[in-house]
Amino acid sequence: MVTIKDVAQAAGVSPSTVSRALNDSPLLREETKARILRIAAELGYERNELARGLVLGTSGAIGLVVPDIANPFFAELTRGVGERAHARGYGVVLCNTDGDLERERSYIRLLRRKRVDGLILATVTADDPYLKLLALSHTPFVLVSRRSQQVEAPYVGVDDLLGGKLAVEHLVELGHRKIGFIGGPPDVRCSQERFQAYQDTLRRHRLPLRKGWVKFSDFTQAAGYQAGRAMLARKTRPTAIFAANDVTALGVLRAAEELGLDIPEDLSLVGYDDISFAGLPRIELTTVAQPSFKLGQLAADWLLRMLSGKPPRQSVKLLPPKLVVRETTAPPPG
Amino acid sequence: MVTIKDVAQAAGVSPSTVSRALNDSPLLREETKARILRIAAELGYERNELARGLVLGTSGAIGLVVPDIANPFFAELTRGVGERAHARGYGVVLCNTDGDLERERSYIRLLRRKRVDGLILATVTADDPYLKLLALSHTPFVLVSRRSQQVEAPYVGVDDLLGGKLAVEHLVELGHRKIGFIGGPPDVRCSQERFQAYQDTLRRHRLPLRKGWVKFSDFTQAAGYQAGRAMLARKTRPTAIFAANDVTALGVLRAAEELGLDIPEDLSLVGYDDISFAGLPRIELTTVAQPSFKLGQLAADWLLRMLSGKPPRQSVKLLPPKLVVRETTAPPPG
DNA sequence: TTGTACGCGTTATCAC
DNA sequence: GTGATAACGCGTACAA
């Protein structure tokens, strides 16, 4: 690899001069600057960001930790982060935990050893004790989509209490009285809040809250299918289900189909996220939309802002969810 | 941040001794090694991989460039890469090009400046001249899913000639004689090969090959919708369409739905990839399955093998595709 | 078995 | 304007 020294030699100047030319220093004569740049290009010189980072104390990269990149919600979020980070010359190191807490920690350690300038975490559980340690360290980080209960950290997400309410109120308005809930991991705050909203809304309307109509899974299609089957195979089953994310809802859809239930005639179904596959013809899932791409952009903007030393404008940013009514919801049968 | 110097001081030894302890050198007495490791842990020492990389000439990271992380095919592929890379302590720097050639190049430059140890490219176009330059450089890379026509580079993918044949033969066997094709970007090899297979199969069966029944788009749902509408709105339209990937096929599905065409009664549809959403109830897309996760694993394994200096076993690895018949295909109407 | 000295490629800070 | 020097944190010949 050609280094700054090689360029210096070829140009008959010192390495420092080359460095200055590369960094467009105003101290240099335009003429020499141009000449050095030309020679550097001819030699195929590419700055070693590793070495530069060592001096400057920055790696020019941020870490992004997501639970499941195969979930379109996180894929879109990742796109948003990448777009903003790359625009400012930052690299994005992606880590996929598959919901495994141990892997999450191991990734964060890896990322810190690599001296990423900051972290975006979309994986934290509500009571993660490790987060406290991270908060004590000097690695800036922002939480996105999933927040912590204990640590007051920068967070960008969607108002899930409102989103959950939107979903369940919609079902209640349609006339449903037997409403089930299928959540994600029970220790994930957004799942908890959607559940909380479910409970609150049922209570407000004095509707029954049955144990068998509540299940927690792990936000995957397979788990949604399992939970759906279990819930729908009961002797008395709900006439509507609020699934705490779209891929889970799609799993429930399959379970219902297998059991010979028609949607929405026999069962109404509401998801959460509005991934692009929710709007497919014949699926037409009613859902609560989250601006996933924008969430990623915002999280990146925020982190980048912290990295440039500017103070955060606020510590929590909550975007509004939006109910998207399609064709998986209807009044209950009978 | 605590460095090896700090640990050395605390332990009353020299920095080199600490370095040796950290690297588990056999030269050290077990006792001192253990003591140093303990002290390092107490101090919260984390090795600076940047500095280490500068010395060792390696960054411990690989770059992954994909055209569209929101396409589940690439999301799964990314999972595969991540799994294998992380298992060996490598970080994965993800870059999403959205199909933009300029962005691809700019990302590759960024990645090289960051001194990633190697590259996995899932974005190359068949005649990309930049690839030649890359091949000349000393950055190891492997191509996945999309190969080059000109540069003989390590490649892992699926036999698209066979995959395309599987798809079209299936339609022919069902009795279709008017078969359309909707491809991806025309300069992407896998799209070209699926098209080639389409043409070959039609010719072999002496079936008509009409211009209006062939369209190229960009492998997105939106583009599939556009192309589908255009093709299906013609006076004489095909009775079956082979879409070169699943998200495109889902776009066609929407177009057909809008035009009041029933699938598979009025129109048969075959996709490619077998993303998880293809198997959804009510969608049940007939498609050609690609082992996307495995493709990612293989690509990573291969690159990592190259990085460890071992010679590649071969330069091209072609996995077999598999036809998955579901419910979007049936004999033609009438 | 451990310490010393140097180098990896770059930038900041002094000199000139 | 430009060059020399030190420093970033680490690994490794070489010396002790």
**What CA–CA distances, in Å, run from A58 to A23, A100, A104, A131, A246?**
16, 29, 23, 22, 38
Q: Model confidence at A223, in pLDDT bands (50, 70, 90)?
A: very high
* A269 domain residue, yes or no: yes
Could you tell me what percent of chain A has a pLDDT over 90? 91
Residues A179, A278, single domain; the answer is yes
Q: Which of A223-237, B20-34, B195-209, B274-288 has the lowest mean pLDDT?
A: B20-34
Work out the minimum CA distance from B113 to partner chain A, whole angstroms: 5
Count of domains observed in chain B:
3
**pLDDT at B214 > cutoff 90:** yes
- The confidence score (pLDDT) of residue B314 equals 85
Mean pLDDT, range A14-33, rounded to an integer: 92
What is the domain-level CATH number for residue A42? 1.10.260
Span B304-320, average pLDDT: 90
Check whether residue A78 and residue A146 sit in a common domain. Answer: yes
Instruction: Return the ∠ at Cα A163 (arms to A162 and A169), rounded to 5°.
Output: 85
List of chain B residues whose C-beta atoms are within 8 Å of the C-beta of residue A95: 82, 86, 91-92
Q: Of all nucleotides in the shown strands, which has a C1' nearest the CA of B17?
A: C2
**3-class state of residue A333 by DSSP:** coil
A126 in Cβ contact with A149 (< 8 Å): yes
User: Looking at the structure, do residues B138 and B192 belong to the same domain, yes or no?
Assistant: no
Predicted TM-score (pTM) above 0.85: yes
Between vectors from CA B239 to CA B237 and to CA B240, what angle results, nearest 5°? 115
Q: Are residues A165 and A119 in the same domain?
A: no
Do strands A240-243 and A268-273 pair parallel, antiparallel, or not at all (unpaired)?
Answer: parallel
Residue B144 located in a structural domain: yes
Stretch A155-171: mean pLDDT: 98
The rounded mean pLDDT for chain A is 95
- pLDDT band, very low/low/confident/very high, at B334 (cuts 50, 70, 90): confident
Chain A positions in Cβ-Cβ contact with residue B250 (cut-off 8 Å): 277, 280
Enumerate the residues of chain B whose CB falls inside 8 A of the CB of residue A109.
46
Residue range B160-188, pLDDT digits in tens? 999 999 999 999 999 999 999 999 999 99
- Cβ count within 10 A of residue A47: 17
**Domain identity same for B164 and B204:** yes
Smallest Cα–Cα separation from B274: which of B318, B322, B226? B322
pLDDT at B1 over 90: no
Q: How many CB pairs under 8 A join A and B?
A: 143
Per the CB < 8 Å rule, is A69 touching B86?
no
Residue among A110, A221, A250 minimizing CB distance to B91: A110
Residue with CA nearest C1 C1'? B28
Give a yes or no: residue A331 inside a domain. Answer: no
Q: Could you tell me if residue A332 is inside a domain?
A: no
pLDDT bin (cut points 50, 70, 90) of residue A313 is confident
What CA–CA distance (Å, rounded) separates B7 from B14?
Answer: 9
The band of A219, judged by pLDDT with boundaries at 50, 70 and 90, is very high
- pLDDT-derived band at A138, boundaries 50, 70, 90: confident
Distance in Å, alpha carbon of B206 to nearest chain A alpha carbon: 34
Q: Is A227 exposed, middle or buried (CB count within 10 Å of its CB: 0-12, 13-18, 19+)?
A: buried
Report the chain B residue with the minimal C-alpha distance to residue A48: B113
Angle between helices B72-87 and A72-87 (to 10 degrees): 70
Q: In the predicted model, is pLDDT for residue A334 greater than 90?
A: no
Strand C bases within 7 angstroms of protein beta carbons: 1-5, 7-13
Q: Is residue A174 located within the same domain as residue A270?
A: yes
Asked if residue A302 lies in contact with residue A296, where contact means CB atoms within 8 angstroms, the answer is: no
pLDDT at A312 over 80: no
Q: Confidence band (pLDDT; 50, 70, 90) for B197?
A: very high
The whole-number pLDDT of residue B279 equals 96
Chain B residues closer than 8 Å to A64 by CB: 94
Give the nearest partner residue to B280 out of A75, A115, A250, using CB atoms: A250
* From A54, A94, A250, residue closest to B92, measured CB to CB: A94
- Extract long-range pairs of B150-153: CB within 8 Å, 24+ residues apart: B150/B126, B152/B315, B153/B315
Whether residues A170 and A314 share a domain: the answer is no
Q: Which CATH number fits the domain that encloses residue A202?
A: 3.40.50.2300
How far lies B295's CA from each of B97, B184, B307, B321, in Å?
A: 19, 19, 18, 12
Mean pLDDT for B239-251 is: 98
Q: Give per-residue pLDDT as tens, A235-273.
A: 999 999 999 999 999 999 999 999 999 999 999 999 999
pLDDT-derived band at A311, boundaries 50, 70, 90: confident
Give A16 CA → D4 C1' in Å: 9
Same domain? For A173 and A137 the reply is no
CB atoms within 10 A of CB B92: 24
Task: Check residue A64 and give its pLDDT.
Answer: 98
| Contact yes or no for B261/B233 (Cβ under 8 A) | no
A113 and A29 part of one domain: no
- Cα separation, B205 vs B165, whole angstroms: 12
What is the predicted pLDDT for the residue at B311?
A: 77
Strands A179-183 and A214-216: parallel
Position A86 in a domain: yes
Q: CA–CA separation, A122 vs B108, rounded Å?
A: 26
pLDDT at A197: 98
Residue B17 pLDDT more than 80? yes
- pLDDT tens digits for A80-121? 999 999 999 999 999 999 999 999 999 999 999 999 999 999
Per-residue flag: B23 CB under 7 A of strand D: yes
Please report which helix (H) or strand (E) contains residue A263, including its range. none
- The per-residue pLDDT for A269 is 98
Residue B129 is predicted with a pLDDT of: 86
Q: How far is CA B64 from CA A222, B169, B291, B301, in A?
A: 28, 35, 18, 13
**B40-49, pLDDT tens digit by residue?**
999 999 999 9
Instruction: List the beta bridge partners of residue B180.
Output: B241
Instruction: Name the burial class of residue B54, with classes exposed (0-12), middle (13-18) and buried (19+) by CB atoms within 10 angstroms of its CB.
Output: middle
CB of A115 closer than 8 Å to CB of A135: no
Q: How many residues does chain A have?
A: 334
What's the confidence (pLDDT) of residue A331?
A: 98
**Which pLDDT band, with edges at 50, 70 and 90, does B128 fall under?**
confident
The separation, in Å, between residue B61 CA and nucleotide D4 C1' comes to 34
Distance from B38 to chain A by nearest Cα, in Å? 17
Spatial distance between the Cα atoms of B239 and B260, rounded to a whole number of angstroms:
14
Domain for residue A175, yes or no? yes
**Predicted local distance difference test score (pLDDT) of residue A86:** 95
Q: Specify the length of chain B in residues.
A: 334
- Judge if B207 and B103 occupy the same domain: no
Q: Are residues A171 and A207 in the same domain?
A: yes
User: Residue A297 has what pLDDT?
Assistant: 98
Domain range for B25 is 4-47
pLDDT in tens, B66-94: 999 999 999 999 999 999 999 999 999 99
A141 - beta bridge partners? A119
Decide: B57 and B49 in contact? Cβ < 8 Å. no
- Asked, for residue A151, whether it belongs to a domain, the answer is yes
Tell me whether residue B331 is in a domain.
Answer: no
Whether A304 and A204 share a structural domain: no
